[in-house]
């Protein structure tokens, strides 16, 4: 029972960063932009939040947790949005190939994160291992009374606020996509930009806003990882392939962030499953670690084979739109 509880808690902790990324990527893909730069953007968001908090804590004698939290949140949103803007400008305005831009952005973003993560202490004058304990503590604060309730409280209320935010954002984005006029327009842009254009929808504007907002949401995933998961420190490349898993989760959730909520739990569970299966050999563990990707591939094949319309990727995904070219 105890092990199961720990497993679920750890799976949720793993899933949150992926859920942020998947929600952001879904929003982006619904506008017809396949942003493969999301892994890079998550790195950028993570390191920017950490640096913001770090410089704040280092320059004040008595840092206030809430202020550090707001500063890091703001830094993350700005850095991730800049990543989204670079992508948007190149693919929407300059009509460059989306895959190529996305991969370049990932190269840049991962390098950006590792570079500043690796040299931030040196730039600040050699303070050794960076740690933003005060801010991270604020991020890790859970519900004071509710988290003490046995089982249910432990299961639901022992996380920092970003965990709940990830679920709330996923629900809001789904509601926006499926139940509002803006969402309808956005889906039209993703399915057939020429039709949307003819209907008077500002295609470029929708693409820009969706991509930048998507990037900002994904950036929060990086922030979550750095602040709540790692506890306010950085280790190079430790974020690993979670960004790509986020893109995979979009497929698993069939372009619906609400489905991504349980999907992130599945991915989070698969990600750490090898630790919790007793009596597994080292080689067996490596095979179990393969599962998230294999599951994604299987889902990808099933959705393409069933070809139900609402489960398909947006029709214009990956293509840039030029009005004079029909």
Partner 1 sequence: MSKVHTVSSKEPLFHMIKRDGISAGKAWAIRLIAVVLSLIVCAVVIVAITHQNPLEVYAGIISGAVGTKRRIWVTIRETLLLLLVAIGLTPAFRMRFWNIGAEGQILLGGIASAGLMIAFGNVLPGWLLLLLILVASMIAGMIWGLIPAIFKATFNTNETLFTLMLNYVAMQLVTFCIVYWEKPAGSNTVGIINGDSKAGWFPALFGSDYGLSVILVLAVTLLVHIYMKYSKQGYEINVVGESQNTARYAGINVTAVIIRTMMISGAICGLAGAVVVSGASHTISTSTAGGRGFTAIIVAWMSKFHPGAMILVSLFLVFMQQGSIQIASQFGLNENASDIITGILLFFLIGCEFFIRYQLEFRKKKQEKEVQA
Summarize as ranges the residues that interact with partner 1 (CB under 8 A): 34, 36, 86, 89-90, 93-97, 99-101, 103-112, 114-115, 118-119, 122-123, 236, 241, 244, 247-248, 251, 282-283, 286-287, 289-290, 292-294, 296-297, 300-301, 304-305, 313, 318, 322, 324-325
When the beta carbons of 111 and 180 are compared against partner 1, the nearer one is: 111
State in angstroms the smallest separation of the CB of 304 from partner 1: 4
Q: Locate tokens 């095979």: which residue?
A: 287
Q: How far is CA 220 from CA 31, 59, 281, 305, in A?
A: 20, 24, 36, 34
When the beta carbons of 112 and 159 are compared against partner 1, the nearer one is: 112
Report the alpha-carbon distance of residue 17 to residue 19 in Å, rounded: 5
State in angstroms the smallest separation of the CB of 277 from partner 1: 16
State in angstroms the smallest separation of the CB of 117 from partner 1: 8
Give me 262's structure tokens.
């349980």
Report the alpha-carbon distance of residue 19 to residue 178 in Å, rounded: 19
When the beta carbons of 175 and 322 are compared against partner 1, the nearer one is: 322
Q: Which residues contact 276 (CB under 8 A, 6 or more apart)?
A: 3, 7
CB 32 within 8 A of CB 316: yes
When the beta carbons of 6 and 238 are compared against partner 1, the nearer one is: 238
- The DSSP element (H or E) to which 282 belongs, if any, is helix 282-288
Report the alpha-carbon distance of residue 44 to residue 104 in Å, rounded: 14
| Percentage helix, strand, coil for the chain under 3-state DSSP, each rounded to 5 | 75, 0, 25
State in angstroms the smallest separation of the CB of 140 from partner 1: 28
Give me 2's structure tokens.
């105890």
State in angstroms the smallest separation of the CB of 108 from partner 1: 2
Q: Locate tokens 């295609």: which residue?
A: 203
When the beta carbons of 115 and 262 are compared against partner 1, the nearer one is: 115
When the beta carbons of 49 and 292 are compared against partner 1, the nearer one is: 292
Q: Any idea what DSSP says for residue 131?
A: -
State in angstroms the smallest separation of the CB of 19 from partner 1: 18
When the beta carbons of 155 and 300 are compared against partner 1, the nearer one is: 300
- Can you say whether the dihedral through the CA atoms of 248, 250, 252, 254 is positive or negative? negative
C-alpha 295, offset from chain centre: 19
State in angstroms the smallest separation of the CB of 152 from partner 1: 35
CB 46 within 8 A of CB 288: no
Report the alpha-carbon distance of residue 47 to residue 284 in Å, rounded: 34
When the beta carbons of 7 and 293 are compared against partner 1, the nearer one is: 293
State in angstroms the smallest separation of the CB of 215 from partner 1: 15
Report the alpha-carbon distance of residue 244 to residue 105 in Å, rounded: 13
Q: How many C-beta atoms surround the C-beta of residue 263 within 10 A?
A: 27
State in angstroms the smallest separation of the CB of 181 from partner 1: 27
When the beta carbons of 74 and 241 are compared against partner 1, the nearer one is: 241
């Amino acid at each position: 029972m105890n092990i199961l509880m720990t497993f679920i808690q750890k799976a949720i902790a793993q899933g949150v960063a992926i859920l942020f990324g998947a929600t952001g990527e879904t929003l982006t893909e619904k506008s017809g932009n396949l942003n493969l730069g999301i892994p890079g953007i998550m790195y950028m968001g993570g390191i920017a939040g950490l640096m913001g908090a770090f410089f704040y804590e280092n320059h004040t004698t008595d840092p206030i947790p809430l202020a550090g939290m707001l500063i890091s949140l703001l830094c993350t949103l700005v850095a991730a949005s800049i990543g989204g803007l670079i992508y948007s400008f190149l693919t929407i305005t300059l009509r460059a190939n989306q895959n190529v831009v996305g991969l370049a952005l990932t190269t840049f973003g991962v390098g950006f994160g590792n570079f500043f993560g690796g040299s931030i202490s040196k730039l600040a004058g050699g303070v050794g291992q960076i740690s933003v304990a005060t801010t991270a503590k604020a991020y890790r604060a859970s519900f004071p009374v509710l988290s003490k309730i046995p089982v249910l409280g432990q299961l639901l209320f022992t996380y920092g606020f970003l965990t709940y935010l990830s679920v709330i954002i996923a629900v809001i984005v789904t509601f926006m996509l499926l139940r509002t006029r803006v969402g309808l327009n956005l889906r039209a842009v993703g399915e057939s930009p020429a039709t949307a254009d003819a209907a008077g929808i500002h295609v470029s504007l929708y693409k820009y806003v969706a991509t930048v907002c998507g990037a900002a949401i994904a950036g929060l995933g990086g922030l979550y990882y750095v602040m709540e998961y790692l506890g306010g420190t950085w280790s190079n490349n430790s974020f690993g392939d979670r960004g790509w898993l986020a893109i995979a989760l979009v497929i698993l959730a069939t372009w619906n962030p609400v489905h991504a909520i349980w999907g992130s739990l599945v991915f989070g569970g698969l990600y750490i499953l090898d630790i919790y299966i007793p009596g597994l050999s080292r080689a067996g563990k490596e095979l179990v670690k393969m599962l998230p990707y294999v599951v994604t591939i299987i889902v990808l094949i099933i959705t393409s084979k069933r070809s139900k319309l609402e489960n398909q990727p947006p029709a214009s995904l990956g293509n840039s739109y030029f009005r004079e070219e029909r």
